Structure 1
């Protein structure tokens, strides 16, 4: 399909403008402190918008409407946990990191449990960011594939390189300021699309709700006690653990807490970014539901191949290309790119920061000069970016990108939250207690993650995990925390008896 010139101009101006704007921060990015924390001088509202834009990504922009289109609003329950997690993070974690003064979220673990804990958590973080980057780059490629028919893998490679360039040149200042702009573009694009869908129904806006209600599209899922299905409670618990991990111990967020000039501003930016996401995610789910009603009322507008199972992620891109007025298509595609680029650039910058602070300056060059530190940041940015591109290429063809991302996030997060909770909530838990907890927690995580692949038939079914995949992070976290705490009590009692 040939893109109208107006749409092409809108898309190029917004997308290229973001890249150029981000790269322009190169002149203000001469030290490692400026690269990783912006010198601690960024405005709170900009940091808050950056937190919002980083959290949204194209996973939200494309996969959430896709999820709502094929099922219901069950996944929206995930958003309900975000304010709770953000409030807890602002109350407990922001002051902790600001007082420690380290740009790394994992320095605290080394202080409490030793170097192994810092390495374990930082490696889990890097693996999680690689999976996140791969999923997002793939979602960025879908609309351009629908629009031009271009090869998805080619789009992934070109987009990935563009983001690497501006995030490497501009550092955290470029990432945060472009995030803020991209977040505004994203919100405008989503609202415009929701309005167009609503007011273009054959029988008027009310038809959206009539068709959706008749097909139970507004359901938040079962309220039953099952831990096998994606019930309301399973998604809520999963959301609470993942979001507490995001806002409490994720380097993406912790690094932003260090970019403001005061603790108060850091707290307000965290709350602003979290609370903004909730209504915007509601818009995304509404778009998916409205798409269902739109194509149910006008089935001839949807190609036959998109009516097949597993094609939900491609319905919204199809509507963007074929159902929007000239000019708006370019805006929506630019919005999707803005969402994805903000998250990928954040992952690149934060991972490079971890490589510098947790590895290079810790083990290879404790008195590193600014020149060598900047060199490490640049090289790490490039290597991580290309690894993310490679993973994205490997994900091409996955049936549901959202399900794939949630599963991978649970696996690679490795129960880090449990280790942090041990360190934060109990001053008596020792190195050995934490190590025992992590070992058993990783065993549980591996069992829950791999059992669907290896315990599939015959007697092996008895060893298969009966729990929903989303609960992997929940059980991993709880096992690490509870085993570590019980170990502390047990060994403390033994020591008391021996004395």
Structure 2
């Protein structure tokens, strides 16, 4: 990184923090601090909702996901537009009509205090873990590639977010996320066009897509019905829809975004805006990853994109074996470039037989390359089993640092850190609100003024910020960071969604039945995930259906047991 990169990076982050504090200083009451005074316009809601979901993990992991596995991950979002329609028709009008500060406040009105508290605690557990991961994700990767101290990065990122989130509450989160989304998408578009510019002169965008297609990177839709497969059309439409319903309909980090709307219509328009743009945005980010793949068909790539992993194995007794693998990898890259040139020439001449032969050669080379990468991972694990061998999250940042010009590197790093800040800010804002209003205020005896609860909300936001930093400092990398966040959500979201659906539509079910069913369901879902019963996306539908079934069963049993006429 040059001086220009440092100037762009630091000035961008400082501007976001200063702007958030300046625009939202002096929250007078809980309504202003938690709901932003209900003055938010629909486009701000839409961008804020998108920014909350699109953390740094999205912009680090998603291109790497496409680089290794292609565009199939986009199926994960196919259920989102359906979920947005349901939320707009059912959830939003009820929340606005009841004038609630949190989603869980509605549960007490419908059931009882213990059910509200249970749902709030489930939210705090999973979202508290996720907040730590959204700080940790960019920190671990930037630490590895830039040599920065990991814990220092965690503290710096967490502190920047805490400053404006504690200061301005929901309004601060909303206004800063507009700036962050602008920075994020500008940076990604610039990176995309630079990648295309770096391809050989005879490789235009259309031909680049064909090259990617020859390596099966453009297989977008999988029609196979397989509950063990993570990304299919059916898992996206069902599991993805249930996850989106739970996330956008019951997760306070999202609900708080649209509860701040000026009206029901503004909230609904903001959510529809998100539903229409989310899939194209994710498609584009995956496409960036596919273009990075095409770029590395003509340019050298490391055997493993995680520099720490390479350093670990080269400093071990397996160094010579790894160097032999690297030499084989370089020779394979020469073969790959020749095969790609042959494929491109055959496309130009429109010779079908030659095109298919070149494609088969590319597929064969890809399989050999994949095998060598797996062998490299094995050597790395043997050298140091504490080092992360899965390098999906390092692909895009490696390209940024090694191939983009000075200045643009600083902008792309600002994109990653801005995304981390935007998502973490929403989470801390929601965690502070739930802790203050659903737990502290509801269970504390005595009357206090509005200023007291604003102070308490700020205090809990600060506390959760510190907890998130601590979690980030002790976290460890997973198979893929974007999957990890969704896995954590899927373990809890289905259960919580089921509770809300019963509150909306199952009027005969009472609080005791829901409370017991929710506890049993959560235990079963955790056991099911640990035993790998199904792909994590299906856990959302499973948890939702299970808690409804158990609650109905318990309610019928309870009514039968306590009603002599029914017994007879």
**Would you say same fold, with TM above 0.5?**
yes
Residue aligning to 1:109: 107
CA RMSD of aligned residues (A): 2.0
Contact 2:71–2:283 (8 Å) recurs in 1: no
CA distance in 2 between counterparts of 1:471 and 1:354 reads 27
**Given the superposition, is the C-alpha separation of residues 250 and 427 from structure 1 closer, same or farther in structure 2, using an over 3 Å criterion?**
same
Residue aligning to 1:416: 496
CA-to-aligned-CA distance 1:290-339 (integer Å, 9 cap, x gap): 111211221x2546554655101001011111211222222111111111
The Cα of 1:6 is off from its aligned counterpart by 1.9
Contact 2:65–2:392 (8 Å) recurs in 1: yes
Contact 1:97–1:254 (8 Å) recurs in 2: no
The Cα of 1:422 is off from its aligned counterpart by 1.1
What's the TM-score once normalised by structure 1's chain length?
0.91
Contact 2:118–2:515 (8 Å) recurs in 1: no
1:253 aligns with 2:254: yes
1:484 aligns with 2:558: no
CA-to-aligned-CA distance 1:239-271 (integer Å, 9 cap, x gap): 111100122111122222221221111111121
Contact 2:76–2:231 (8 Å) recurs in 1: no
The Cα of 1:341 is off from its aligned counterpart by 0.6
Which residue, 195, 199, 202 being the options, matches 1:201? 199
What's the TM-score once normalised by structure 2's chain length?
0.81
Count the aligned residue pairs: 483
The Cα of 1:175 is off from its aligned counterpart by 0.6
Residue aligning to 2:425: 345
CA distance in 1 between counterparts of 2:121 and 2:515 reads 16
Residue aligning to 2:289: 288
Contact 1:75–1:235 (8 Å) recurs in 2: no
CA distance in 2 between counterparts of 1:181 and 1:117 reads 38
CA distance in 2 between counterparts of 1:27 and 1:225 reads 52
CA distance in 2 between counterparts of 1:332 and 1:64 reads 15
The Cα of 1:170 is off from its aligned counterpart by 1.5
Residue aligning to 2:399: 319
**Given the superposition, is the C-alpha separation of residues 373 and 28 from structure 1 closer, same or farther in structure 2, using an over 3 Å criterion?**
same
> 5+ unaligned residues in a row in structure 2: which ranges?
307-372, 378-389
> 5+ unaligned residues in a row in structure 1: which ranges?
452-464
After TM superposition, the structure 1 = structure 2 runs for residues 82-231 of structure 1, keeping only pairs within 5 Å, are 82-142=80-140, 144-145=142-143, 148-202=146-200, 203-205=202-204, 206-220=206-220, 222-231=222-231
CA distance in 1 between counterparts of 2:211 and 2:137 reads 28
**Given the superposition, is the C-alpha separation of residues 305 and 265 from structure 1 closer, same or farther in structure 2, using an over 3 Å criterion?**
closer
Contact 1:360–1:366 (8 Å) recurs in 2: no
CA distance in 2 between counterparts of 1:39 and 1:366 reads 25
4+ aligned runs moved over 3 Å, structure 1: 301-309, 486-496
Which residue, 440, 464, 469 being the options, matches 2:520? 440
CA distance in 2 between counterparts of 1:356 and 1:320 reads 41
Secondary structure at 1:467 match in 2:
coil
Residue aligning to 2:65: 67
CA distance in 2 between counterparts of 1:355 and 1:438 reads 20
The Cα of 1:469 is off from its aligned counterpart by 2.8
Contact 1:221–1:230 (8 Å) recurs in 2: no
CA-to-aligned-CA distance 1:123-143 (integer Å, 9 cap, x gap): 111112112212211222255
Residue aligning to 1:37: 35
CA distance in 2 between counterparts of 1:177 and 1:94 reads 21
Residue aligning to 1:278: 279
The Cα of 1:208 is off from its aligned counterpart by 2.6
CA distance in 1 between counterparts of 2:207 and 2:473 reads 40
CA distance in 2 between counterparts of 1:344 and 1:330 reads 21
**Given the superposition, is the C-alpha separation of residues 155 and 28 from structure 1 closer, same or farther in structure 2, using an over 3 Å criterion?**
same
Residue aligning to 1:467: 534
Secondary structure at 1:229 match in 2:
coil
CA distance in 2 between counterparts of 1:153 and 1:109 reads 39
Q: Over alpha carbons, which structure has the higher Rg? A: 2
**Given the superposition, is the C-alpha separation of residues 357 and 366 from structure 1 closer, same or farther in structure 2, using an over 3 Å criterion?**
farther
CA distance in 2 between counterparts of 1:477 and 1:429 reads 15
Contact 1:44–1:269 (8 Å) recurs in 2: yes
**Given the superposition, is the C-alpha separation of residues 16 and 386 from structure 1 closer, same or farther in structure 2, using an over 3 Å criterion?**
same
**Given the superposition, is the C-alpha separation of residues 301 and 439 from structure 1 closer, same or farther in structure 2, using an over 3 Å criterion?**
closer
Residue aligning to 1:461: none
CA distance in 1 between counterparts of 2:555 and 2:473 reads 45
CA distance in 1 between counterparts of 2:244 and 2:178 reads 21
**Given the superposition, is the C-alpha separation of residues 305 and 406 from structure 1 closer, same or farther in structure 2, using an over 3 Å criterion?**
same
